Amino acid sequence: MSSAEHWNVPGYTVTRELGAGGGGRVVLAVHERSGAPVAIKYLSETLRRDEEFVARFRQEARLLVELNDPNVVRLYEYLETEQGAAIVMELVDGPTLRALLREQGPTGPEAALAVLKGSLLGLAAAHSTGVVHRDYKPENVLVAADGTSKLADFGIAVRAGGAPGAPAGTPPYMAPEQWTGAAASPASDVYAATAVFFECLTGHRPYRASEHAVLRHMHMTAPVPVEEVPEPLRHLVARGMAKDPALRPASAAAFVYELERAAVAAYGPAWEERGRGRLVALAAALAATFPLSRVRPIETGTSLFTTSLFAKALRALRSRGVLLTAGAALMVAMGGGIGAYALGSAGTRTVAASQEAEPGGGGVPAAASASPAVPEESPSEAPTETPAEAPTETPYAAPSPAPEKTSAQSPSATPSKAAPETSATPAASPQSSPKPSPKPSPTPSPKASPTPSPSPAPVKVSALDVGGLSYQAKAGADGATGAGTVTVRTSGPGKVTLTVRFTANGTVTDTRTLTLSGATSYTRTVSGDLGRVCSGTWGMSVTTVPAAAGGTRTVTAKAPECPTSVTSVQVGTPAVSSAGVVTATVTVTTDGTGPVNLTGRFSAPSGGGGTQTVRLSGAKTYTRTLSYSFPSRPCGENVTVSVSTDPAAPGGAASRSVAVTCPASVSQVRVQSVSISGTTATATIAVTAGNTSAVRLNVAWRTRDTTMATQTYSLSGKTSYTVTASYTFPYWPCDSYGLTASTSPAAAGGAATITKSTDSCIK
């Protein structure tokens, strides 16, 4: 067992080991100051010595720390010292989507929609920062015990719109353009997410083949098998898996909007609540495998927390003759950062910055979620899919040339004083000092001429590297501190002066000068004041005296978004369609371009109601139309739309109501009874209306064929009326009397007429 496996990250108490393998080990731990459970991944010594792997690992983290979203697994802390390297991440106490599909089969439509929405929101957060995931698959979607889902593993993520390159991704879910190596785009992630949605609905992938060439052809040319999914969701699947990226939703956020409309239309406004309930039930069946389960056994050689980066590293290890058992990789479900921009390097500890972080704490928010990402599958090393559908896939990527071995990698390289080697030979026992012999009297002798020592050779700076940038906001938003790791290699142990200038949006804010001597390799973490900087960029400019080959080194990073406040929220008068769809136009103004959640709540006294939430970012003024579909038009009621934002507007929520009227209608008019006493006739008339709008009842009294009088009654506010009408004839109605009852608007069955016989007036 390596020394790294005996070392623990300070500030955390290890509860137990979750798994171990060729990539390292994963433990369940508790943050000592907050009591929050976390997952800690310790890199194996073999991977830690692989400079190419560590460099890519840090690059992945730089992408991830830009993400701060509840639908992305969060990265808390990275620590790299002489004893080892480790990452601390959010614990999602639940299985992967792959585990659910493998053990439970298809999830059902509403649960599939709920999973898709959650992970699409995670993708939307990545897309909003310009990052394309490129490897969305069931292994990278984690389902928490409460039915929510989170996106993990950005191992091959890239910036959107980058230059075309080699094909990369997991074959069963790669969009057609990914197979050709075209530039990455959010539409590629939409395709993969839809393919996984298809698998949740049907229990299998949309295209299955054992050869890459065949699978490539199917993804690029074969029709989407929409006939296998429920009819209400076919349009959604066809849109998301369109061969042409331009025909798909432009982003994950746009796809979420289409998903919600389709879900409400097919399954009603409560679809998401039922879908999450179904996911809770499915996950509960696997509860014994959750990280926080007391009965869960330690797993050895199991792919807990796998990234494509680890898979590639393991293939590299095998190529070097390192024997690994099947599934020995340890998967790290990396997630969104909390505000910092990079990771520390050798001898440094960088904690993701957060407004939630405990003051003076050890890098985990006091309210850290006890949610661990512990997938249960062993990924196949083969990049192709087998006919039996192996449960996981290794991402496909074109091989890159092996890096040249530098002098620092050579076994004969002189070790740095920062990392002294320990001898395996026990120290010799101290020997007793011999008794001193009597000192002879000194004999004068002529002084020898001093021999001049050779002048030391001039020191040259052979290498100068800067990396590991980290950004930390000061308490009370009073400025920020930047830090980075500087590595200097020289031709000798002579003096070197290192000058580091910190910049914010191109302006120098602080300067640090260090003197190095006594070694040939130095690694220093340097920090400086950035002042009040948010948005834009910050960086470090590093020079040495004597000058390094290549001169000054400059690195920059994106500064976190300025905290955004909502200055006002206004809602217009709602409109109600004949089908019961209520829409309202909302205007939101902010003092920054950061993210704002806008939520509209629709309600009517008898029709229940629902909500719609929209995420806003990138501007300071937004106009959005929110909508909700009632089962039917709520006639005669007041419909209210209440709009709130997070962060909240100064005046809180804004609301507006509208009275809903409907065209009057009458389904029936009927004369229930009629009688006469003396010359006064009385009748009871029933009217049934289609809604509560006003209608008019017309009563015409007759004797024989003559209309004697007409009466009118105004009715409103109900859908059922009983009217008693009476009339006194001026004389006895000889032979007969009666009435005709009609309505305006006319009843569906027309007017009602009744006639009664009387005594004749002729004797």
Residues noted as catalytic: 135
Helix (H, G, I), strand (E, B) or coil at 721: strand
What's the CA gap between 14 and 6, in Å, rounded?
12
Q: Exposed, middle or buried by CB within 10 Å (0-12, 13-18, 19+), for 705? A: exposed
What's the CA gap between 489 and 435, in Å, rounded?
47
Tell me, rounded to whole angstroms, the distance of Cα 531 from its chain centroid: 31
Contact 58, 303 (CB under 8 A): no
What's the CA gap between 235 and 241, in Å, rounded?
10
Tokens of 81: 């010292």
**Which residues, other chains included, contact 640 with Cβ-Cβ below 8 Å and sequence gap of 6+?**
602, 603, 604, 655, 656, 657
- Across 474-607, where does the E strand assignment appear? 480-490, 496-504, 507-516, 521-531, 537-545, 553-558, 566-571, 575-576, 581-590, 596-604
How many CA atoms within 13 Å lie on the side-chain side of 143?
Answer: 32
Q: Which residues pair with 755 in a beta bridge?
A: 738
Contact 149, 97 (CB under 8 A): yes
- Amino acid, single-letter form, for residue 736: S
Contact 517, 495 (CB under 8 A): yes
- Amino acid, single-letter form, for residue 705: D
What's the CA gap between 179 and 174, in Å, rounded?
7
Q: What does the DSSP 8-state code read for residue 761?
A: S
Q: What does the DSSP 8-state code read for residue 357?
A: B
Q: What is the DSSP string of 224-290?
A: P-GGGS-GGGHHHHHHHT-SSGGGS-SSHHHHHHHHHHHHHHHH-TTHHHHHHHHHHHHHHTTGGGS
- Of the candidates 71, 56, 248, the one whose C-alpha atom is nearest the C-alpha of residue 142 is 71
Give the torsion through C-alpha atoms of 267, 273, 274, 279, to 10 deg: 130
**Which residues, other chains included, contact 507 with Cβ-Cβ below 8 Å and sequence gap of 6+?**
none
Alpha helices in 24-139 (DSSP H): 45-48, 51-64, 97-104, 109-128
Number of CB atoms found within 10 A of residue 152's CB: 30
Number of CB atoms found within 10 A of residue 222's CB: 14
What's the CA gap between 204 and 215, in Å, rounded?
14
Any idea how long the chain is? 763
What's the CA gap between 234 and 218, in Å, rounded?
19
CA distances from 527 to 311, 424, 501, 515 (A): 35, 37, 10, 15
